[in-house]
Structure 1
Amino acid sequence: MVQPLLCVFPYYIAPGGFGARGSGLRGFILPRLTAARRNCYNTVTTANHAEELMNITELRYLVAIMKWGSVSAAAKQLYAAQPNVSKALKNLEEEYGLRIFERSSTGMIPTEQGKRFIRQAQRVLQQVDELKQEAHQQRSCAELRVVLTHATYASYAAVDFLQQAARSEQLRVHIRESGAIEALDFVLRQGYHIALLRYAAEDEDYYLRYCQRHGLRQEPIMEFSYLLLTSQDSPLARRQVRELDELNDYIEVLHGDTHLPGEESTVSRWQVNPNRRIHVYERCSQFSILQNLPTAYMWSSPMPQRALEQYHLALHNCPAQKQQMRDVLVYPEREPLQPEEQLFVQLLHKQADATIKDSGWKKI
């Protein structure tokens, strides 16, 4: 199979070189650039032209000859065949019509033109090496910036990701919990890559329009009705709540960042006593309150059974609670997900599916 030859303005890299998006290499202009090579800018040439184009290996040979003083010494240091090094030097001198070195009994001495040529070659090689190093670091670095709704299965997916990413040489992970509106702001303005939103089904039109207007793709994860979450020692754990007003004497623990713009955070859509509430913004605090306050409860999505056991909690159906909720993943439509992000999304679906299976609820 013929390998394509990558041409990068304003110099050329033959097969076996490198390529990087947004490399920013500029300013290397060789003397006596031929018309054919000027016409090659921003084009892809086949390997049939490789003999006509300078490649990075030739530049390395050239710099090594200057450093070590002879073709034979350069070949030895580079573990290259001496004829290949000699041929590379000859090709460069013929192609650009200049004499790079003077041959003498004491070795190879660069001419004035040769010195200028080699200085430019050294600058290019330095940039090439920096790009290679950066590309290696990117390959060996697991990077993820994600905003999650207050969902236990999502935090489990994040832990699953970290267990796999821990094998990487570098780890740059930012995991934040927030409400849907704040999560959208983190994706659009604060450099986060993906967000898991939770919103009521009746608010879906608002979020659909918002995401379409801002170029965000939506990926459904879960649909559910809220369940009643309490301590296993709560009086509510021993009976079924059929009407919401049965909860008026209990304390509701709720997320403090779930309302829409312009909507009062104190408004209750479910007609439960608004005078007995605790607003908390972090899941572990909520679980601690439920564990230690038997009269407290909160509305929750389905949870993994191991989390319920860990925090000594119980989930109950409540026939009066008919609020349909949706968990939806969003990310910029024009930017493909990176491998680490794809892995996280796969793990998120896996945890959501397992949680739904345990609880008997359904996926969208």
Structure 2
Amino acid sequence: MGKMNLTDLHYVVEIDKSGSISKAAKELYVAQPNLSKAIKHLEREFGISIFERSSKGVKATREGQKFLEYAKRIIYEIEEMKRDCSDLGKENLSFKITVPRASYISSAFAEFIGMQSKETAIKAEFQENSSMHAIENVLQNGYSMGIIRYLCENEPYFQSLLDLKGLDAELLAELPYMILTSADGDLAKRELKTREELEDGVEILHGDWKLPTGEYTELSENGESLHPHNKIYIFERGSQFDILREVKNSYMWVSPVPEKLRKNYNLVQKHAGFSGQMIRDVLIYKKGYQKKLYEREFIEHLKETIREMM
């Protein structure tokens, strides 16, 4: 006695649907004798009569109806298994992360996404925001992780705040604020030991945040006095490199920028001797949160980017 196969089940289900062996043969592009053979095979296998034949076609018997219910269920389960198993070879990358405006972070994120195989289903949200908004996003808005930035001198305040909010923290990097400017401009040739050496420059500032403060905050009238008269406010971060490249005496306060990005835009970064500010970039997430594999891989890639910069 031969064993039942899935093809025979497909045949009898289509025959039942068509009500005719000849019609089913046309739908399946199969010779009628093959369908008749499948019916006889299954009827012998299970010791039942699946169809009643008449001049009008075929109709399932009572026991045949029960058999067809099982057959349809088996076909459905097999198809479902095929779909599920086809996805087993694919990784799903789905996470939300909120970060400060930092070129090394955005560069590392872009590289990480670019490293994924074409089989990976990607759904990611990458939002640049202030430290307070990052904390809110992790607590209330479904972000699995965040990176916050603050001045080293504000460490006690932020540690207390994170403990109060029930967030864990991992130090990613302790970095100096630096001046980023065109390699062809006058500022690139100066030692920048005093603030006065920047007075004839044009400072580029993000219009919604005040820099350099370590922790990004909203602009205020008091904050304006910290900056020279020549300012360009931008609201799209992508435009900052074009301005730095084309406006030779322009500059920005930034955390260290990856070398390949500086080369692409013909920029240099310089230490400012009058500024001893150090910032900390800290990874945050809810207490007890278990990072997914791709999240751990992204953080490791980010740390590698930091090591290369330093």
TM-score, normalised relative to structure 2? 0.68
Question: Does 1:193 find its partner at 2:144?
Answer: yes
Query: In the alignment, residue 309 of structure 1 is paired with which amino acid?
Result: K
Structure 1: gaps (5+ residues):
1-59, 75-85, 90-100, 107-111, 357-364
Paired residue for 1:151, among 88, 98, 102?
102
Matching residue of 2:155: 204
- Check conservation: 1:222, 1:327, Cα contact below 8 A: yes
Task: Give the aligned residue type for 1:153.
Answer: Y
Query: Any conservation in 2 of the 1:198–1:325 contact (CA below 8 Å)?
Result: yes
Counterpart position of 1:300? 254
Q: How does 1:139-288 map to 2 (within 5 A)?
A: 140-144=90-94, 145-258=96-209, 265-266=219-220, 272-273=226-227, 275-288=229-242
Q: 337-346 or 131-140, which moves further after superposition?
A: 131-140
Q: Give the stretch that moved more between structures: 284-293 or 149-158.
A: 149-158
Can you give the 5+ residue segments of structure 2 that lack an aligned partner in the other structure? Answer: 1-5, 14-37, 53-61
**Structure 1 residue 349 and structure 2 residue 299: aligned?**
no
The one-letter amino acid of 1:202's match is E
Quote how far apart the aligned CAs of 1:313 are.
0.8
Provide the aligned length of Structure 1 versus Structure 2: 276
Contact 1:177–1:282 (Cα < 8 Å) also in 2: no
Aligned partners of 1:147 and 1:192 also within 8 Å: yes
8 Å CA contact 1:245, 1:272 repeated in 2: no
Is contact 2:208–2:235 with CA below 8 Å preserved after alignment? Answer: yes
1:267 and 1:181 map into 2 onto residues whose CA distance is 20
Q: Is the 8 A contact 1:268 1:274 kept in 2?
A: no
Contact 2:167–2:286 (CA<8 Å) still a contact in 1?
A: yes
Preserved CA contact (<8 Å) 1:180 1:258: no
Q: Percent identity?
A: 26
What is the SS of the residue equivalent to 1:253?
strand
Q: Is the 8 A contact 2:169 2:284 kept in 1?
A: yes
Moved more, 298-307 or 157-166: 157-166
Bigger RCO of structures 1 and 2 (CA < 8 A, at least 6 apart)? 2
Deviation at 1:254, TM superposition (A): 2.5
Q: Give the alignment's TM-score, normalised by structure 1.
A: 0.59
Judge conservation of contact 1:230–1:236 (CA < 8 Å) in 2.
yes
Q: For residue 333 of structure 1, what is the aligned residue in structure 2?
A: 287
